[in-house]
Chain A
């Protein structure tokens, strides 16, 4: 620690103006803020803001009742403006205090006011002569030599330097006031950084172990906007608009939120050790990149919501949302009438965000999730259309820094303005890297919509609508309804429910004549079973009786039927889609059923497969097993809304066709055709086919191996854990039994005559333990050996042969899941 700068600063005359009254004001302010927020988090900010205030205390701005942050900003700005407006000589004097002496051999880093003038401030009336000597004993050079190198400096760069100096001084004051050690360290670091920058007259850039922003993808802003679309896209445009404003208010609150210092959170028992250290890193990042730069504009500022992602939000969300809710209640009356809906919708929004935050597979945090272009553009357009005042009003709802955003830009700092604009645009452009431009897609969508209205084929034949479209139309008209009903013994069951259950029992009994009626009654009225009922004119006309096993993560489908006269109308498909959505909402990702031979076709259409991707122990003993029925499985994807799926896919395919057609129009050109093959050339490289490049074809647009994060070069330990998990799953599979152990020679005497390289799962396990599987290839080769041996020795009509086929498929699936498969 060189110690130089700090000591130098301490003796700076700036302290002189920091009168008692200023201190008192600062303290008073601090108290106010603490009582106002009632939180420890506020202390950090209060200390920093109060310091800024104190440093500007010379001005006659009275302490404000609220809006300290805004006031601090204002004061800093006023002080800067004042310094900028000083006579040049005084500005140079100020600069000299942080500029290295240019005299040869002198190591003095800043001119020091002579002893007799120590209490005078260059920012007010004091203007030292160029010839006055530096107080530093090892220097003693005149002020002139401290600024000799700045003779040619432009006014703007001088002001920039002065701005940085003021920021630095403020930082120093803050550093002295702040009590939290971590925060103090950060302030010190930034102070030194700025000091160095002023000395070398360079732009401050923060480098180091903190990494560069953005720290996570997707950022909070993007995820929150995705959430608005994901949860509320079905609402009317005004409601959607409200939700968007709610989201923006939330983001604004977050961007002005004062995070608790890590030490303040030490008492929080919900935080694991790991969480705490992650939080500490993020807290430091926030201070350095978001919080401090808000006050020190010589540092580049980033919006919290644009550079941080899920991890940070998770750690602070609970406390932050509580505060936001409180604020909403307390500021309710000050809100304009037409904006009140934002406040009323806030708790709902926060709840939705919370649940998405906790869900591991929430689509909004998926970097690939993107609301449709139309939505994004609409939002962007709206954002642009909004007059600046209205943005501020929405901001004022949550943060006392009401006008701060407006203020900051009006003050006019070219650097920050630029950053702000750049940020969102950059993130969008990277997203769309290998995507079509939005306007092309919009055009195609428009064309599709138009062609639908002018399509003539409909005149000849009725349109062949998708399987569930009519049903969805009926549902919209409320001609049919879907309800999940079930019996209960611990609470009263409504008459309607009982009547529907009775009706459902009749439907099942008629449609499933193989099932004993008593058995149907028993299950439909069982309290653990539920039935998704399709109700038409208050009569159940179909339903799916199911039993969820939340602990096992799957739902068993017990009965599924639609009454005869209502079949082939798409009700079955829509019922199943509703059940899928219902399950997904409850965190269940697998549906299992024993299908009789008549039902297999239906279940196949609904995305079920005989290939069971769940390990047997997960469901064995839970699900009811039936003779002469086939177990079928359907895995659910949490980000698919199944009731919308068919329509979405159809629409997408129409748009795609339209895009292809458009492209076709653009490049329409008939070429003479290739003659080289007639001349006997066996093959030519694809790219040499004329015209291919012109239509935008590129050889291997993406790196082929991108999907293989665990290639040979990767962490061998990770590889071993992956292999272990694959091996474990394979062992547990229902068809693994023939391969668990080496083939016993005493039972199959001729086996080893035919099979020269035997392999089995037990041996593989041993090899894995010994660390034999250094690469993926070795592991896959042994596994492949098991199957090829089996198929070599056994004939295709044997159970063994089938087991090999089935297990091989399962193995491939498992490997693919871990990104260990090539294709």
Chain B
């Protein structure tokens, strides 16, 4: 079904309305929950009979579950908006609508899509799934059309680099990906074997609840160098402490005396497990001379 700009805008508008309702609902429920908790505390202090306390608790749990469901519904709507936007973007591209986007705006978009990556909020006891934070994808996993990946592609100078790319399609028969360079100035399509493509996380891990889904300090990783579309070898210097924070990593850079650049912030989405290639992932500053 073709998704025109108008219908996409309309669909998004509808969902925004839904979200607004959800937010109001969440607000009401939160207020109710607060008073419930207050009454619960009172009941405990008054040493109410256990059976009565139990029923009270059960009703409160029910309420809390409802609140959680509403919040999740709202998040689902946000996710839908992301998908509609993505869908529309892919269609526009396939229709040959190559809107020239300035580099600065492109970088902003790269940043924004990392900041708005959905946050994984698990049920109690639930472990972070694959492609959440540092958890890698299963070996059989195939990235979906439109998903972002790190791709080891040859540039015009025949040199291989891990670039930020988007999946155009997966060629099942050849077990290869067809990807497009995210940097529109390059406009390069690459057909790459599956092992040269690493899917990027689809969700952020919350450091406060899912710390295990983050790379530990001093891990050697590949990270997107800020304001570029290339991944380079780096060392985790500092982990995010909050869901909204980013990693701080040390990129390899021979122009610094100790071989590493000063710590730079990189979003969870753009920090992936290091995968050695024949000549190593990028060579840091060598390609990063002045602009």
Binding site for B on A (CB under 8 A): 456-457, 459-462, 464-465, 467, 470, 510-514, 561-562, 564-570, 598, 602
Note all chain B residues with C-beta closer than 8 A to A465. Answer: 105
Q: Is the CB of B104 within 8 A of A565?
A: no
Of the candidates A464, A513, A514, A564, the one whose C-beta lies within 8 Å of that of B105 is A464
Q: What are 29 of the A-B contact pairs (CB < 8 Å)?
A: A456-B9, A457-B9, A459-B9, A459-B12, A459-B13, A459-B16, A460-B5, A460-B9, A460-B88, A461-B85, A461-B89, A462-B105, A462-B108, A470-B104, A513-B289, A513-B290, A514-B290, A564-B225, A565-B225, A565-B227, A565-B264, A567-B227, A568-B103, A568-B107, A569-B104, A569-B227, A598-B289, A598-B290, A602-B291
Of the candidates B9, B88, B109, B225, the one whose C-beta lies within 8 Å of that of A462 is B109
Taking A457-B9, A570-B104 as known contacts, 13 extra A-B pairs with beta carbons closer than 8 A to each other, sorted by chain A number, are: A456-B9, A456-B13, A459-B12, A460-B5, A460-B88, A511-B290, A562-B291, A564-B288, A565-B225, A567-B227, A569-B108, A598-B290, A602-B291
Note all chain B residues with C-beta closer than 8 A to A461. Answer: 85, 89
Most B C-beta atoms less than 10 A away, residue of A464, A512, A602: A464
Tell me, rounded to whole Å, the shortest Cβ–Cβ distance linking A512 to chain B. 5
CA gap between A459 and B89 in the complex, in Å: 12
What string of 1s and 0s marks CB contacts (under 8 Å) between B257-291 and chain A?
Answer: 00000001000000000000000000000001111
Q: Is the CB of B108 within 8 A of A470?
A: yes
CA gap between A561 and B103 in the complex, in Å: 17
Q: Is the CB of A462 within 8 A of B13?
A: no
Closest 8 A/B residue pairs (Cβ): A565-B226, A511-B290, A456-B9, A568-B103, A567-B227, A459-B12, A565-B264, A568-B104
A457-B9, A467-B104 known; A566-B290 Cβ under 8 A: no
Note all chain A residues with C-beta closer than 8 A to B73. Answer: none
* Chain A residue at minimal CB-CB distance from B256: A510
Note all chain A residues with C-beta closer than 8 A to B255. Answer: 510, 513
Q: Is the CB of A567 within 8 A of B291?
A: yes
Q: Is the CB of A462 within 8 A of B103?
A: no
Note all chain A residues with C-beta closer than 8 A to B101. Answer: 464
Query: B8 at interface (Cβ–Cβ under 8 A)?
Result: yes
Note all chain B residues with C-beta closer than 8 A to A567. Answer: 227, 291
Query: B112 at interface (Cβ–Cβ under 8 A)?
Result: yes
Query: B42 at interface (Cβ–Cβ under 8 A)?
Result: no
Within 8 A of A (CB), among B131-146: none
Query: B72 at interface (Cβ–Cβ under 8 A)?
Result: no
Note all chain A residues with C-beta closer than 8 A to B5. Answer: 457, 460
Note all chain A residues with C-beta closer than 8 A to B227. Answer: 564-569
Tell me, rounded to whole Å, the shortest Cβ–Cβ distance linking A505 to chain B. 14
Query: B102 at interface (Cβ–Cβ under 8 A)?
Result: yes
Note all chain A residues with C-beta closer than 8 A to B9. Answer: 456-457, 459-460
CA gap between A448 and B13 in the complex, in Å: 22
CA gap between A684 and B111 in the complex, in Å: 57
Note all chain B residues with C-beta closer than 8 A to A512. Answer: 290
Of the candidates A456, A459, A464, A561, the one whose C-beta lies within 8 Å of that of B290 is A561
Tell me, rounded to whole Å, the shortest Cβ–Cβ distance linking A602 to chain B. 7
Tell me, rounded to whole Å, the shortest Cβ–Cβ distance linking A452 to chain B. 16
CA gap between A462 and B102 in the complex, in Å: 12
Q: Is the CB of A467 within 8 A of B291?
A: no
Q: Is the CB of A460 within 8 A of B85?
A: yes
Tell me, rounded to whole Å, the shortest Cβ–Cβ distance linking A366 to chain B. 34
Note all chain B residues with C-beta closer than 8 A to A464. Answer: 101-102, 105
Note all chain B residues with C-beta closer than 8 A to A511. Answer: 290-291
Most B C-beta atoms less than 10 A away, residue of A465, A565, A598: A565
Tell me, rounded to whole Å, the shortest Cβ–Cβ distance linking B258 to chain A. 14
A513-B290, A564-B288, A565-B227 known; A462-B12 Cβ under 8 A: no
Tell me, rounded to whole Å, the shortest Cβ–Cβ distance linking A96 to chain B. 86
Note all chain B residues with C-beta closer than 8 A to A568. Answer: 103-104, 107, 227
Note all chain B residues with C-beta closer than 8 A to A514. Answer: 290
CA gap between A567 and B291 in the complex, in Å: 8
* Chain A residue at minimal CB-CB distance from B226: A565
* Chain A residue at minimal CB-CB distance from B105: A464
Tell me, rounded to whole Å, the shortest Cβ–Cβ distance linking B85 to chain A. 6
CA gap between A465 and B104 in the complex, in Å: 9
Tell me, rounded to whole Å, the shortest Cβ–Cβ distance linking A570 to chain B. 5
Tell me, rounded to whole Å, the shortest Cβ–Cβ distance linking A465 to chain B. 7
CA gap between A570 and B102 in the complex, in Å: 11
CA gap between A464 and B101 in the complex, in Å: 7
A460-B9, A565-B227 known; A598-B291 Cβ under 8 A: yes
Note all chain B residues with C-beta closer than 8 A to A467. Answer: 102, 104
Most B C-beta atoms less than 10 A away, residue of A459, A465, A511, A570: A459
Most A C-beta atoms less than 10 A away, residue of B88, B104, B289: B104
CA gap between A456 and B5 in the complex, in Å: 9
Tell me, rounded to whole Å, the shortest Cβ–Cβ distance linking B271 to chain A. 15
Within 8 A of A (CB), among B107-134: 107-109, 112
Note all chain A residues with C-beta closer than 8 A to B289. Answer: 513, 598
Tell me, rounded to whole Å, the shortest Cβ–Cβ distance linking B182 to chain A. 13
Note all chain B residues with C-beta closer than 8 A to A457. Answer: 5, 9
What string of 1s and 0s marks CB contacts (under 8 Å) between B149-179 and chain A?
Answer: 0000000000000000000000000000000
CA gap between A421 and B164 in the complex, in Å: 68
* Chain B residue at minimal CB-CB distance from A458: B9
Tell me, rounded to whole Å, the shortest Cβ–Cβ distance linking B210 to chain A. 27
A565-B227, A566-B226 known; A460-B12 Cβ under 8 A: yes
Tell me, rounded to whole Å, the shortest Cβ–Cβ distance linking A9 to chain B. 81
* Chain B residue at minimal CB-CB distance from A469: B104
Tell me, rounded to whole Å, the shortest Cβ–Cβ distance linking B112 to chain A. 6
Note all chain B residues with C-beta closer than 8 A to A460. Answer: 5, 8-9, 12, 85, 88
* Chain A residue at minimal CB-CB distance from B291: A567
CA gap between A467 and B104 in the complex, in Å: 7
* Chain B residue at minimal CB-CB distance from A456: B9
Note all chain B residues with C-beta closer than 8 A to A564. Answer: 225-227, 288, 291
Note all chain B residues with C-beta closer than 8 A to A598. Answer: 289-291
Note all chain B residues with C-beta closer than 8 A to A510. Answer: 255
Note all chain A residues with C-beta closer than 8 A to B290. Answer: 511-514, 561, 598
Tell me, rounded to whole Å, the shortest Cβ–Cβ distance linking B81 to chain A. 9
Note all chain B residues with C-beta closer than 8 A to A566. Answer: 226-227
Tell me, rounded to whole Å, the shortest Cβ–Cβ distance linking A154 to chain B. 74
What string of 1s and 0s marks CB contacts (under 8 Å) between B1-19 and chain A?
Answer: 0000100110011001000
Tell me, rounded to whole Å, the shortest Cβ–Cβ distance linking B265 to chain A. 8
* Chain B residue at minimal CB-CB distance from A561: B290
Note all chain A residues with C-beta closer than 8 A to B13. Answer: 456, 459
Tell me, rounded to whole Å, the shortest Cβ–Cβ distance linking A739 to chain B. 39
CA gap between A513 and B102 in the complex, in Å: 27
Note all chain B residues with C-beta closer than 8 A to A569. Answer: 104, 107-108, 227
Note all chain A residues with C-beta closer than 8 A to B107. Answer: 568-569
Most B C-beta atoms less than 10 A away, residue of A510, A564, A567: A564
CA gap between A57 and B8 in the complex, in Å: 88
Note all chain B residues with C-beta closer than 8 A to A456. Answer: 9, 13
Note all chain B residues with C-beta closer than 8 A to A561. Answer: 290
Tell me, rounded to whole Å, the shortest Cβ–Cβ distance linking A640 to chain B. 22
Note all chain A residues with C-beta closer than 8 A to B102. Answer: 464, 467
Note all chain B residues with C-beta closer than 8 A to A462. Answer: 105, 108-109, 112
CA gap between A412 and B8 in the complex, in Å: 69
CA gap between A564 and B255 in the complex, in Å: 13
Tell me, rounded to whole Å, the shortest Cβ–Cβ distance linking A419 to chain B. 56
CA gap between A457 and B109 in the complex, in Å: 15
* Chain A residue at minimal CB-CB distance from B5: A460
Within 8 A of A (CB), among B233-264: 255, 264
CA gap between A291 and B291 in the complex, in Å: 65
Note all chain B residues with C-beta closer than 8 A to A459. Answer: 9, 12-13, 16
CA gap between A459 and B9 in the complex, in Å: 6
CA gap between A314 and B148 in the complex, in Å: 66
* Chain A residue at minimal CB-CB distance from B265: A565
* Chain B residue at minimal CB-CB distance from A463: B105
Within 8 A of A (CB), among B1-45: 5, 8-9, 12-13, 16
Tell me, rounded to whole Å, the shortest Cβ–Cβ distance linking A665 to chain B. 21
